[in-house]
Amino acid sequence: MKIGVIGYGVVGQATAATLRLIGHEVFVHDLNPQRMAAGISDGLDRRAEANDVEVDFLCVPEGHLNEALDGLPTESLAVIRSTVPPGTTDSLAAYFSRPMAYMPEFLKEATAQWDALNPAFMLVGTHDATQGDLLTRIFAPLLVPIIRVEPAIAEMVKISLNAYLHTIISFWNEIHLICERTGLASHVVGKICSQDPRVPSYGATMHGKPVGGRCLPKDVTQLINFAGELGYSADLLKEAQRVNAKLAENAAVAGEQVRVGGDSSSVQRRNGPVPLAA
């Protein structure tokens, strides 16, 4: 099948490589000359030169979706992959008068290609059964569960998942700040707690540094703002942000450049341990 990938950053590259590996013909477009050149170097043809493309995966940030959709042939099914507030896909479909669906990615930057080829599940957000069948057929070779729901549900799943990951790390960062005041090892506490099947190891064994990466902090802010537009104050998420900001400030005072979670696990220490919270 002929498939377009719009945006050739981390998500676009992983999406394009996966689609090629499972037998599809992939075309790429990116306004950034360096990324576009990387796509050509990887053996991909330009999207503008392709005819009869059935699906275009939009692998661009939310703020660039309108730009990506402008000029894109309306015959193809445009599929958003980035985190967006619930209702975005339907709004854009109506505005551009074109078929659209939502199929979020669940990738970590450091292991994006592996994650794209080995997902726990895939999520298809569409109102149209034919569109759902098409997207299911595209990714069927991965042999993983494919869940089909309406776009707004899929959008809420994606933003909620990232907000949860941010919050659970922030919870363990709070425990870490408490343990520091008593000389206890928070990672030992977390590891033992995670032996309880109700407690995930994510966060429990990976904490003590600010939540980082390109996605988790941004997506928590996006969900807080979305809730605010509905007249609801997402106080728990705001507090998770506050704990993260406290650790970031402490790290800056200590001369560190550290982050944990999200789509990056890189850590670089320059001075001593993170100081106690005020």
Vertex 122: Cα angle to 16 and 135 (nearest 5): 65
Cα separation values, 59 from 14, 64, 175, Å = 10, 10, 36
pLDDT on residue 266: 30
Q: Which residues are catalytic?
A: 215
CA distance 26 to 12: 11
Q: What class does CATH assign to 155-268?
A: alpha beta
Give the E-state strand segments of 48-114 in sequence order.
55-58, 77-80, 100-102
CA distance 161 to 152: 14
Please state the CATH superfamily assignment of the domain spanning residues 2-149 in this structure. NAD(P)-binding Rossmann-like Domain (3.40.50.720)
pLDDT on residue 257: 53
Task: List the chain pLDDT tens, one digit each, 278 residues.
Answer: 999 999 999 999 999 999 999 999 999 999 999 999 999 999 999 999 998 999 999 999 999 999 999 989 999 999 999 999 999 999 999 999 999 999 999 998 889 999 999 999 999 999 999 999 999 999 999 999 999 999 999 999 999 999 999 999 999 999 999 999 999 999 999 999 999 999 999 999 989 988 877 889 999 999 999 999 999 999 999 999 999 888 888 877 776 555 555 543 332 222 222 222 22
**Is the Cβ–Cβ distance between 123 and 153 less than 8 Å?**
no
Go through the chain and tell me how many residues it has: 278
Where along the chain do the CATH 3.40.50.720 domains lie?
A: 2-149, 155-268
CA distance 198 to 187: 17
pLDDT on residue 214: 80
